[in-house]
Structure 1
Amino acid sequence: MDIPRIFNISESAHRIHNPFTPDKLATLGAALRPEPETRILDLGSGSGEMLCTWARDYGVCGTGIDMSPLFTEQARQRADELGVADRVAFIHGDAAGYVSEGEVDIAACLGATWIGGGVAGTTALLAKSLRPGGLILIGEPYWLRLPPTEDIARGCLAGSISDFLLLPERLASFRELGFDVVEMVLANQDSWDRYEAAKWLTMRRWLDANPHDEFAAVVRGQLTTEPERYATFTREYLGWGVFALMRH
């Protein structure tokens, strides 16, 4: 079980696999003010930066699930590095349908809502692990402004314009699902740049080290087209944020 190889290569040097910087992640933690021993479930936990840094900073504990063996191992190494391996655990597995054995205080999915077939399904899945009064965290793109054509939406790597909502509509959608939005932290252009542009140097260094790999042509194609695609489409049209929800 693994994610597509291009992501394991292009994001292999990332600690955060979404458009958040460490400062943004710290802002989210400070906004939520988790108490010591807060229990967190993180579906699609990537390299574990949220769980590991919050365990260090707030004394939380929790479990992360991710399909990438590489990212899961990086998460375990990060837990060792920060001295929190006794507080957090990382499982290599499919988070789709995963429900915690015991109720958690925070159930999160930051940037992987395909796990539940979209925002509504992922929110419902997370709610199955949540204690009454707990928090759900959803990380999801939204349109900064509606793309004028479907081609522009596809340039943002969306399947269609309907894949995402404008920010006010996204906030309203959570209410329609039965939740209050109680906090949000949004990416900005700089944090988007740090997520996307950092891939390019990683890909170039991988190509220099692996010129004869059978996958080199794919990586070369990505490196050739991604900077212009990102600057033309994603950077201009797509936002991203983490939304904290509590059931009505």
Structure 2
Amino acid sequence: MDLPRNFTIRERGHRIHNPFDSGKLATLGAALRLPPGARLLDLACGSGEMLCTWARDHRVTGTGVDISTVFLRQAETRAAELGVTDRVEFVHGDASGHVADTPVDVAACVGATWIGDGVPGTVALLRRSLRPGGIMLVGEPYWRREPTDQTVVEACHATTRDDFLPLPETLERFAELGTDVVEMVLADQGSWDRYVAAQWLNLRRWLDRNPDDELHDELRAELDTAPVRHVRYQREYLGWGVFALMDR
């Protein structure tokens, strides 16, 4: 059980596997005003940057769950670098079926709502681990601009324009699920660039080192088109944010 190799090649150098930079992640952590000792569960935690930095900065504790062995090794290394190995742990597993043994103060799925087959299922999954009065964190794309045609939709990694909603409708959907939106921090074009453009350097260095790998031609073709696709479509049309929710 692991992520496909092309995904880890593309994002191996990342600490944050979504279009947040470290400043936005810190802003979110401060905005939540978590007390020392608050317990977090981070489903699809990637390389664990949220848990590790918040454990350092806010003295929270937590568990991260992810399917990627590569990213979990990076998470454990990061925890050691920041001196928080006594406050965080990382579990290799399928986040879609993970429920905390003891209810937590914050249950998060930041940018991986496919683990619940979409936002409603992910919110339902997070609720199973959350204490009464706790906070859910959901990271989700939204349309910054209405896509003009199917080419734009597919270039933004969607199948149909209904895969994502504009920002107001995204917030309305959370309300329909019985939650209050109590905070949000949104990506901007600069943080999108840092997430996506960093992948191009990862790809190029991997291509130079692995000319005979079976994935070489596929990833070479991706790098040929990715920069223009990003600036023409994703950077202009697709937003992304983390939304803090509390049950009504």
CA deviations 1:141-173 (Å, max 9, x no partner) are 000011021221111111110000000000011
| Offset, 1:47 | 0.2
Which residue of the partner structure matches residue 6 of structure 2?
A: 6
Whole-angstrom CA distance in 1 between matches of 2:179 and 2:94:
26
Whole-angstrom CA distance in 1 between matches of 2:77 and 2:155:
35
Whole-angstrom CA distance in 2 between matches of 1:202 and 1:15:
13
Specify the SS of the correspondent of 1:76: helix
Which residue of the partner structure matches residue 187 of structure 2?
A: 187
Specify the SS of the correspondent of 1:7: helix
Letter in 2 for 1:141: P
Which residue of the partner structure matches residue 92 of structure 1?
A: 92
Which residue of the partner structure matches residue 130 of structure 2?
A: 130
CA deviations 1:203-227 (Å, max 9, x no partner) are 1011111111111111111111111
Whole-angstrom CA distance in 1 between matches of 2:223 and 2:150:
24
Which residue of the partner structure matches residue 63 of structure 2?
A: 63
Whole-angstrom CA distance in 2 between matches of 1:230 and 1:115:
25
- Map 1:98-137 to 2 at 5 A: 98-137=98-137
TM-score by length of 1: 0.99
Structure 1 unaligned spans of 5+? none
Specify the SS of the correspondent of 1:246: strand
Which residue of the partner structure matches residue 232 of structure 1?
A: 232
Letter in 1 for 2:174: F
Whole-angstrom CA distance in 1 between matches of 2:98 and 2:61:
18
Which residue of the partner structure matches residue 211 of structure 1?
A: 211
Which residue of the partner structure matches residue 175 of structure 2?
A: 175
Whole-angstrom CA distance in 2 between matches of 1:85 and 1:61:
10
CA deviations 1:5-55 (Å, max 9, x no partner) are 111001000000000000000000011111111000000000000000000
Whole-angstrom CA distance in 1 between matches of 2:53 and 2:218:
34
Which residue of the partner structure matches residue 141 of structure 1?
A: 141
Letter in 2 for 1:107: A
Whole-angstrom CA distance in 2 between matches of 1:171 and 1:188:
18
Whole-angstrom CA distance in 2 between matches of 1:209 and 1:150:
36
Give the number of equivalent residue pairs: 248
| Offset, 1:3 | 1.3
Whole-angstrom CA distance in 2 between matches of 1:230 and 1:159:
17
Letter in 2 for 1:191: S
Whole-angstrom CA distance in 1 between matches of 2:7 and 2:32:
30
Letter in 2 for 1:151: T
Which residue of the partner structure matches residue 54 of structure 1?
A: 54
CA-based RMSD of the aligned residues comes to 0.7
Whole-angstrom CA distance in 1 between matches of 2:215 and 2:152:
28
- Greater shift in the superposed pair: 147-156 or 59-68: 147-156
Specify the SS of the correspondent of 2:136: strand
Whole-angstrom CA distance in 2 between matches of 1:115 and 1:204:
30
Identity %: 62
Whole-angstrom CA distance in 2 between matches of 1:125 and 1:52:
23
Once superposed, which parts of structure 1, at least 4 consecutive aligned residues long, lie more than 4 Å away? Answer: none
